[in-house]
Structure 1
Amino acid sequence: MISSIAVRLRWLRRKVSRTHWAALLLGVTRPSGETDEPGLILIQIDGLSRTQLEAAIERGRMPFLARLTKRGHFSLENFYSGIPSTTPAVQAEIFYGVRAAVPAFHFLHRPTGKMMRMYEAESASEIEKELFDRCPNPLLKEGHAYSNIYRAGASRTRYCSQDLAPDELLKRLHPFKSLLLIIVYLPKILRMIGLAVVEFVLALIDAVKGLYERENFLKEIAFVPARVVVCILVRELIRFRVLLDIERGTQVIHANFLGYDEQAHRRGPDSAFAHWTLKGIDRTIRDIYRAGHQSGHRDYELMIYSDHGQEHTEPYENRHGRSLEIALAEIFKNGPLAGYGIWSRNSPDLVGSAPNRRRTPPKSSSGDEADPSTQIVVAAMGPIGHLYLPCQVGALAMEDYARALVVEAGIPLVMLKQKDGDVKCFNPRGAWILPGDRAEVLGPDHPFLDEAADDLVSLCFHRDAGDIVISGWDHRGKPMSFPLENGAHCGPGYEETRGFLLVPDRIRRWHVAHLARTGQRVRGEDLKKIAEHYLGRDGVREERVPEHAKREADLPLRVMTYNIHSCLGIDGKLRPERVARVINHFDPDVVAVQEVDAHRPRSRGHDQAQLIADHLRMTHVFHAMLEEEAERYGIAIFSRYPFQVVKSGLLTGAEHSFIKEARGAIWVKLEIEERPAFHFINTHFGLGRQERRMQAEELLGKNWIGGIPEDEPVILCGDFNSGARSKVFRRLAGAMRDSQTIAPDHVPLATFPSTSPFLRLDHIFTSSHFSVERVERPRTPTSIMASDHLPLCVELTLHPPT
């Protein structure tokens, strides 16, 4: 009773949170009741490679993510960014399923003749129109998005590239509401100001450090306020918006945190200042995770990923003592391109020594400064650069220019597309052909060697790619970037293409079973499929029994036992769909449930087994231990695989005076793909000590388990109403094996009562044919509320007969 009151008090406290008051002030309508549709929150930590994530966890910079990963809630996987390894390309693949939508962050858009810089509203809008034509149902359709390049169909966006247009900013100003929010959030705002002061001091220290290392003075000073805005202000605003979205029950939310990426560009991906920003991001993720799991309207899952990593780079100008533009002018002053000016965003008025070059480049019809018909246009905002030539140049002359760019200009990698579909690459060690000579160009140890080589070829043939593509990548030397930055991404490097994905175990099981595992990695288009399946947008969820023909044979069998208390939660609400969500959250293969009602007035006449089976899209069998006219009460088995019912019946009837209620069991036999068949039995023992002993002996007798040949695997599940010290438990554990006591590195967990469990009443026993890989007893807010028992979930490996 005390624990139940505590749960209700926590629930009430959430109802009157600051986010709730903010929702009222902003006119946000909070949805009533519960929905069966799951919610998904996608968190992007921009620019954080898997290597740096693991380093941050090791250094204690991200304690919350470390805790969830250690507990097994998240599994850590490789995320391959593709090439170019830059946010506009990766987000296009995740949101629209389009690979390499752009050839770089900065490039010439050939259809319009405009120079695109993807942080600008006009550029992002132009590319998104093309993406929408190819995929009219993007991932974030009707969702909410924050700090992205694209809106991706979201009905509400903030801090995205297109939101930064002046007319958009003016449209969204609400002075009165802003004042009220300041009053409500005054403690949080004061905390944010304190953090900003700390960040400002650190930024000044960082700027002094940069000056000591001979960085540009003006850029160092200008970066101080930008750092505070990105690392503190925008992060906290996004946090507030996401919490508000959870309050309003938004189904899909995407938030991109830029702080680490900005710091890593300036100081390097492994710098202390870059890693400092991860502490704040970790706290923000903690708050979002908790709010999502406390939502009373929708069950949320959280996936966290990075779109790419960063390489620790040396700026071109630092390495060679001159700008890239000056070096290019020297290379192109001879040959077919002699007489043409050089244009780049860094040096728009640069000219060579030829007398016929014009000092002021003409403007194109689009209004941009570049004129690719009269100039050599350079777009090199990162370690990938595109050179757009004003006239046709023969193949031999192009190769001469490529060699000169490597030898004289010191560019590590130069690429020319060929008529046969290959790409000819030049580096300090010679000329190579992609994709064939991939190891010579990318390095034999590249984590995604085959895919990166293919993607690099596709990049060179991109519609908007330059006639010459240059790169700072050299697998035998330190990577280089063309702007002044110590961390960079866009190219094919080991770190910049290797992000990470933290995926909840429930979701991971589906994608491992259904998506090809190419080098144990996920890329953007895979993440889109995973998210769409979870949200029920791919049609697979409409199948009654999912197709598992492609399921990985080495994936453990997941078994659950759960006393569902007639779907009556400790909050007094009758919610079969809530019980189904608790079960589905852990994606079991076979489920044994007890205390199931069918057509009883106390449970609104529902056939609870059928309702839950429909929600889970599993087949099921129900056995009644109590029947009064149309009313029935008993136990059930749910399975995602076909099964054969061997037997269902009573273990003890009500013929004895000491037995108040008949008790029974269900016995089925399953065959899963190439695995050996196994027996699965579900039971529910009585409350009396004597009747439980009788039920145990009957179950172990020749009419049930005792009649199964010793070489056939058996799983026994149920609510035995018997603790680990009872004679009944010892009798069962002597005949079979208790999964909780033989699980490696596991302390047995109680399942009753759900609010403060201290009794082990629910058990899963196995024959010696199984090994226990993992045991879970979920204690999410939903599972605590849904029944007076917590479910017990075990992962088993069935060993083939010897």
Structure 2
Amino acid sequence: MKSPAGEAGEPGLILIQIDGLARTQFERALEAGQLPFLRKLIRRKHFTLETFYAGVPSTTPAVQGEIFFGVRAAVPSFQFLRRSEGRDFRMYEADSANTIEEELLEKCPDPLLAGGHAYSNIYRAGAETRYCSRDFATSELFRRLHPLKLLVFGIIYLPKLLRMVVLSVIEFGLAIADALRGLYDREDVFKEITFVPARIAVCVVLREAIRFRVLLDIERGVRVIHANFLGYDEQAHRRGPDSAFAHWSLKAIDSAIRDIYKAAADSRYRDYELMVYSDHGQEKSTPYVKLHGRELDEALREVFATGPLAGTEIWSRKMSEFLGSTVDRYRQWFGASRKPPVSEAAPDPGSQIVVTAMGPVGHLYFPRIPEDGAMVGYARDLVQKARIPLVILPKGDGGVVRAFTRSGEWKLPEDRAEILGKDHPFLDEAADDLLALAAQPDAGDIVFSGWSPHEDPLTFPLENGAHGGPGSEETRGFLLVPDRIRRWHVSHLANTRQRVRGEDLRQIVMHYLGRDGKREEFVPEMAREVPTGTLRVMTYNIHSCVGIDSKIRPERIARVINHFDPDIVAVQEVDCHRPRSGGHDQAQLIADHLRMNHVFQTMLGENEERYGIAVFSKYPVEIVKAGLLTEAVPNRYREARGAIWVKLKQEGGGHIHLINTHFGLGKQERFQQLRALIGTGWLGSIPEEEPVVLCGDFNSGPRSKVFRMLTGLRDAQSQVHGFRPRPTFSSVNPVLRLDHVFVSKHFDVKSIEVPRTPTAVVASDHLPLCVELSLREPS
């Protein structure tokens, strides 16, 4: 397959979802070495780890509805009664997912993945190529498959297919060992055996297929790609979120992410960024039947044996039929479902009490609504007789939403701490989301949950890990935000909440893709002054925006700068309208991305082509002087060298002087440039009482004549106690200190940063030097 010609002007984005991995388990896996590649990127500060709040219900259909369409609580749970159709919906079924997605598209005509590709999701979300729930209907699969295409595919990709076979054999051995362990723990024999092929399908075949397709998409230059890895979630359902078998699956997922990341970094057509997140976590849970010795529907028959609903038939899917959803899901996807038993016949909401409880959240739908007193009685009996931890009455007298637990009766949201626990990490938001869930059109007349802050979580199917309710772990996922995106994310979202939820992630992605309408032309504010306090200064030789991978990426340079949020930036080796760098005005492009003012000074110019240095600033600058220090001289100096001198106005009066320069390669050349710089035309004319910052690429080390002659200024890297000065060249293997920031006596140096993030290493042949300064009070 040929790659697209040329280079795309718009950046691409790859979203990786690790389904069901709570932040707690993610951090545990990092420490245990089960996610070595992601751990390396976090330690190198390519990613910032943040908390992702799943909302309630904490299920993939609800969370993806919020991320892809911006709609909270798109569904009331994974299984529910679709009131308008009187039909039982299970969100892994193609027709159920299709119906809900059509409804979401009416509310949001701009789905997140429009024009992109999606794999293993609930919804297509506008993706052109997708393998999601609605695509696994038998008719859809047969329509797509063609014998000749399969044959050609098998021949071309035979090595990859053989790799998948080998991995499947290994996984089969592990699955058998896991099944034997289950039998030892007295699990059901049939369920243990039927889980083996499902485990191979999810943990190997599906994962490898996703890896392969995403790599192809990167080669083709697809702009937005979303892939959901299900292996951990399914293992966690079966054995528990902290089980060794669930965590074992993370190693292979980490390996797949590594391959995707490297392919994206090597893409010559499009500049990709990668984000990794989990849509929710899981609670370590006890199945209802194991805890109480009877099925849920049996307990419900006892509760509804009296009162106005006495004698009403109860419809439910037998809880013991659930196999952590895995086997059931893949039977449905591949059209291999057995004939459903009587208990799975279509419900009759007009005459039956309909029960849906596929997870730790359940709903009760009544053919007729009893009066309020009877509803309260049923709610109390559900807690006391059926031993359900949390019961919610969505529609009580006066519109009050009431909750019932073993410790009493409460109101939402006032009594949130008693209902959810005062230590719940998202107490206020989870309480609000429970209110919204109660008002969801397809929510039950009674909503119940296995969550309690005072006892171990409960789930209604046969599973050891569960999610869907308001629990502290099931609502707590994680998000890895790359350095390129973090600055806007922190500035524009209410990050004081210390979490990101689905609608926030959607906003972040839409902004990055330029689809939020907020990329209007930047008009600098010319009335601002530098506030008292700290001043962050960066110097950076950007090598004409040509990275060590030979790609010309001004936006990548802006990404590196953005990560450190400097107030003023001095850059060297900047091209303007030069054919060798794509004819762009690099200073203008970078300034637009940074949303800063900028000044450019030409060191070399011929016709429209120019080459020089620049200064970017958050604050208005006054250009004092910009010009050459030495002219280019044949057989002596290879190119002209110069400097830019600007002033920034301080809050309360006074100015700060900053000079950016780039010295030559020859020793004698640098000596001449330094003499000019310290002379009366430049530094020598600045009054002693005014603060000065001198920075740039001096092509000189700390033992050079440059250091000895700059007697009135101090090397910033040597001013921090206990800090060992760091080299900046070359970026791949930094051994030389060529880039420097010198400051006058008016400043204290607070901190020094020389980043070695993956982006900084590849963006230029130099690393940036970022210095945080504090202006001393006048004595």
Answer whether contact 2:10 2:270 (CA < 8 A) is retained. Answer: yes
The 1:756/1:268 distance shift into structure 2, 3 A limit, reads closer
In structure 2, the residue matched to 1:769 is 748
In structure 1, the residue matched to 2:620 is 642
Of 362, 365, 371, which aligns to 2:348? 371
Residues in 2 aligned to 1:751 and 1:394: alpha-carbon distance in whole angstroms = 77
Does residue 1:534 correspond to 2:512, yes or no? yes
Does residue 1:454 correspond to 2:432, yes or no? yes
Residues in 2 aligned to 1:174 and 1:557: alpha-carbon distance in whole angstroms = 63
Residues in 2 aligned to 1:183 and 1:724: alpha-carbon distance in whole angstroms = 60
Answer whether contact 2:576 2:587 (CA < 8 A) is retained. Answer: yes
Residues in 2 aligned to 1:635 and 1:663: alpha-carbon distance in whole angstroms = 9
Of 103, 111, 123, which aligns to 2:84? 111
Q: Where does the alignment leave 5 or more consecutive residues of structure 1 unmatched?
A: 1-23, 350-360
In structure 2, the residue matched to 1:584 is 559
In structure 2, the residue matched to 1:249 is 221
Deviation sequence 1:545-588 (CA, Å, 0-9, x none)? 589999xx999976543434556778888x5xx23433335425
Give, in angstroms, the shift of residue 167 of structure 1: 1.5
Answer whether contact 2:720 2:749 (CA < 8 A) is retained. Answer: no
In structure 1, the residue matched to 2:331 is none
Deviation sequence 1:110-136 (CA, Å, 0-9, x none)? 122221100000000000011000100
Give, in angstroms, the shift of residue 502 of structure 1: 0.7
Residues in 1 aligned to 2:264 and 2:718: alpha-carbon distance in whole angstroms = 30
Answer whether contact 1:448 1:519 (CA < 8 A) is retained. Answer: no
Deviation sequence 1:293-320 (CA, Å, 0-9, x none)? 1100111111000000000011111111
Residues in 2 aligned to 1:505 and 1:197: alpha-carbon distance in whole angstroms = 39
Residues in 1 aligned to 2:626 and 2:587: alpha-carbon distance in whole angstroms = 16
Following superposition of structure 1 onto structure 2, how do residues 43-122 of structure 1 map, counting pairs within 5 Å?
Answer: 43-122=16-95
Give the letter for the 2:750 counterpart: S
Give the letter for the 1:42 counterpart: L
Residues in 2 aligned to 1:296 and 1:184: alpha-carbon distance in whole angstroms = 23
Give the letter for the 1:191 counterpart: R
Residues in 1 aligned to 2:209 and 2:388: alpha-carbon distance in whole angstroms = 41
Q: Classify the secondary structure of the residue corresponding to 2:34.
A: coil
Q: Classify the secondary structure of the residue corresponding to 1:507.
A: helix
Does residue 1:194 correspond to 2:185, yes or no? no
Of 488, 491, 495, which aligns to 2:473? 495
The 1:237/1:741 distance shift into structure 2, 3 A limit, reads farther
Give the letter for the 1:318 counterpart: K
Following superposition of structure 1 onto structure 2, how do residues 122-137 of structure 1 map, counting pairs within 5 Å?
Answer: 122-137=95-110
Give, in angstroms, the shift of residue 483 of structure 1: 0.9
Q: Classify the secondary structure of the residue corresponding to 2:519.
A: helix
Residues in 1 aligned to 2:109 and 2:773: alpha-carbon distance in whole angstroms = 43
Q: Classify the secondary structure of the residue corresponding to 1:436.
A: coil
Deviation sequence 1:18-60 (CA, Å, 0-9, x none)? xxxxxx2xxxx52111122011000000000000001111111
Give, in angstroms, the shift of residue 635 of structure 1: 1.7
Deviation sequence 1:162-218 (CA, Å, 0-9, x none)? 111111111221333333333343333333222212211111111121122222221
Answer whether contact 1:36 1:298 (CA < 8 A) is retained. Answer: yes
Residues in 2 aligned to 1:140 and 1:338: alpha-carbon distance in whole angstroms = 49
Following superposition of structure 1 onto structure 2, how do residues 254-333 of structure 1 map, counting pairs within 5 Å?
Answer: 254-333=226-305
Give, in angstroms, the shift of residue 444 of structure 1: 0.6
Give, in angstroms, the shift of residue 750 of structure 1: 3.6
Give the letter for the 1:242 counterpart: V
Q: Classify the secondary structure of the residue corresponding to 1:424.
A: strand
Q: Classify the secondary structure of the residue corresponding to 2:754.
A: strand
Residues in 2 aligned to 1:570 and 1:67: alpha-carbon distance in whole angstroms = 20
Higher mean C-alpha displacement, 504-513 vs 147-156: 504-513
Answer whether contact 2:554 2:589 (CA < 8 A) is retained. Answer: no
Give, in angstroms, the shift of residue 643 of structure 1: 2.9
Residues in 1 aligned to 2:753 and 2:580: alpha-carbon distance in whole angstroms = 37
Q: Classify the secondary structure of the residue corresponding to 1:581.
A: helix
Q: Classify the secondary structure of the residue corresponding to 1:717.
A: strand
Answer whether contact 1:140 1:252 (CA < 8 A) is retained. Answer: yes
Q: Classify the secondary structure of the residue corresponding to 1:171.
A: helix
Q: Where does the alignment leave 5 or more consecutive residues of structure 2 unmatched?
A: 322-339
In structure 1, the residue matched to 2:334 is none
Give the letter for the 2:449 counterpart: S
In structure 1, the residue matched to 2:772 is 796
Higher mean C-alpha displacement, 282-291 vs 216-225: 216-225
Following superposition of structure 1 onto structure 2, how do residues 452-601 of structure 1 map, counting pairs within 5 Å?
Answer: 452-545=430-523, 559-566=537-544, 575=552, 578-587=553-562, 589=566, 590-598=568-576
Q: What is the number of equivalent residue pairs in this alignment?
A: 752
Deviation sequence 1:487-543 (CA, Å, 0-9, x none)? 000001110000000111221111111101243100000000111111111122233
Of 196, 203, 206, which aligns to 1:231? 203
Give the letter for the 2:485 counterpart: I
Give the letter for the 1:398 counterpart: M
Give, in angstroms, the shift of residue 278 of structure 1: 0.3
Residues in 1 aligned to 2:226 and 2:769: alpha-carbon distance in whole angstroms = 30
Give, in angstroms, the shift of residue 78 of structure 1: 0.5
Give the letter for the 2:263 counterpart: A
Residues in 2 aligned to 1:425 and 1:635: alpha-carbon distance in whole angstroms = 65
In structure 2, the residue matched to 1:337 is 309
Residues in 1 aligned to 2:485 and 2:655: alpha-carbon distance in whole angstroms = 26
Give, in angstroms, the shift of residue 87 of structure 1: 0.3
Higher mean C-alpha displacement, 238-247 vs 164-173: 164-173
Does residue 1:428 correspond to 2:406, yes or no? yes
Give, in angstroms, the shift of residue 434 of structure 1: 1.0
Give, in angstroms, the shift of residue 373 of structure 1: 0.9
Higher mean C-alpha displacement, 446-455 vs 511-520: 511-520
Q: Classify the secondary structure of the residue corresponding to 1:107.
A: strand
Q: TM-score, normalised by structure 2?
A: 0.89
Residues in 1 aligned to 2:293 and 2:378: alpha-carbon distance in whole angstroms = 21
Give, in angstroms, the shift of residue 594 of structure 1: 2.4
Give the letter for the 2:66 counterpart: E
Give, in angstroms, the shift of residue 646 of structure 1: 3.4
Residues in 2 aligned to 1:605 and 1:471: alpha-carbon distance in whole angstroms = 61
Residues in 1 aligned to 2:28 and 2:738: alpha-carbon distance in whole angstroms = 42
Deviation sequence 1:654-684 (CA, Å, 0-9, x none)? 7999666543211234479999975432111
In structure 2, the residue matched to 1:413 is 390
Deviation sequence 1:236-283 (CA, Å, 0-9, x none)? 000000000000000100000000000000110000000000000000
Residues in 2 aligned to 1:90 and 1:750: alpha-carbon distance in whole angstroms = 43
Answer whether contact 1:545 1:640 (CA < 8 A) is retained. Answer: no
Residues in 2 aligned to 1:388 and 1:734: alpha-carbon distance in whole angstroms = 81
Give, in angstroms, the shift of residue 688 of structure 1: 3.0
Paired-residue identity, %: 62
Following superposition of structure 1 onto structure 2, how do residues 704-743 of structure 1 map, counting pairs within 5 Å?
Answer: 704-705=682-683, 714-729=692-707, 731-732=709-710, 735-739=713-717, 742=720
The 1:66/1:318 distance shift into structure 2, 3 A limit, reads same
Answer whether contact 2:44 2:756 (CA < 8 A) is retained. Answer: no
Give the letter for the 1:772 counterpart: S
Give, in angstroms, the shift of residue 759 of structure 1: 3.8
